[in-house]
Structure 1
């Protein structure tokens, strides 16, 4: 028994150390920094960090641009996440249906955009959107995809393009785990391809859909690479366009204590939304 416990401890310890170093300690450090403020003695006096309690959080909750950025990513997520996961589910069902030949090729083709770094993908699409640089000048000039009205959805297209294949593979892997006996029984009962997909496959992969949704919620609130790159292409993207951009620009001022408070509030919002979504799905019987 002791040898078994020692073996478990041996394998768990590296994870625990890395988890503490790169996850718990940074979180605690950010919380600690958010409780301090900078105080100067005179106009040109040296800056010293003093304990300020919840002063930085008062600034966070009264900061209009930050909450506008929160509203912006909420709108982004409400539209982009269902579209992305809907297409990913469709592609996974298509690959699993037997209607497609060369599944290995299409799996690779669908997943390939995920292998492109987010910054590179944003630069590539930024050039395609730019009227002066795009090979599709007639389209981009008339639509003005980098205008304040469209730039958010232009970024949504980039995120969707990058992550559809990733989410598709998660759902497709769940489909491969469904016992073939269930499909055989459905076929005997006279269920066709569409009936099987709707009544059997989709219910069986709901846990995978929930997982990808949680990942997407987290990713939406942490949106950074795309808006940061698009600042070079569109004046509509400000330094406070998304919450993470707000944190980045605040830390560059530099105001590390306020940036830490922003990041703590953002982390709490991400946790609450993800936890609430999981609770709602659990109540509906999705495990």
Structure 2
């Protein structure tokens, strides 16, 4: 399997497909998944002539199950190591959920010429947990409950998570995909329980406000008002206000895992943004577009 070593010896698994002289598009997965979560998007961009890259975050998928380094600073450093090893320049970085936080931290610190654009999809920035300075956030007790369920019976917790709120399969009239549920569970169970446990703190308690302010490249922020994992009101609208060059695309009824349930919508937005174009979406699906 293709791997690159980081400074502390961690082995990071990655996929790298397409022409080496094409513009790179790097995908950053959510918790507790792997690079496989981006298969649809990678094939879509590959078909359009892009070079596509995705990696398994440390402690996830096929990467090393490390005891240490399960925090956003280390995740961003791992991305920088992979970018340098593959010599990715003028790349578009696309992150979903926790991966959106990883993109924000990396893009804010990236060397000049490495990042051309970024996309945050149903992402955790600016700050997910409720604090005195972030009263609209999710109470820490919610994440405490997730950690407790993870330790008690990880397999059942992940099955319930994928079968319910992640893909919106708990909504009335939802078209349930057993394949998506099984694939989510498969990816999640490949990772380290310790890394996934500690990543919960990383994605919920890391404040990305300064990172967002520091990003100079254009950033597309995609989020759904019906996201049951990362609540819309305390995420996307606040994120785009902190960005220097941000565009907000709000959907009405898509789930948190919209890249898999509605790839035809999300891929069109991603490809258009990569090309500097605008997508004409169905008015019933779009809540607002704010530049």
Q: TM-score, normalised by structure 1?
A: 0.24
Structure label with greater radius of gyration: 1
Q: TM-score, normalised by structure 2?
A: 0.23
Relative to its length, the structure with more strand (as a share) is: 2
Relative to its length, the structure with more helix (as a share) is: 1
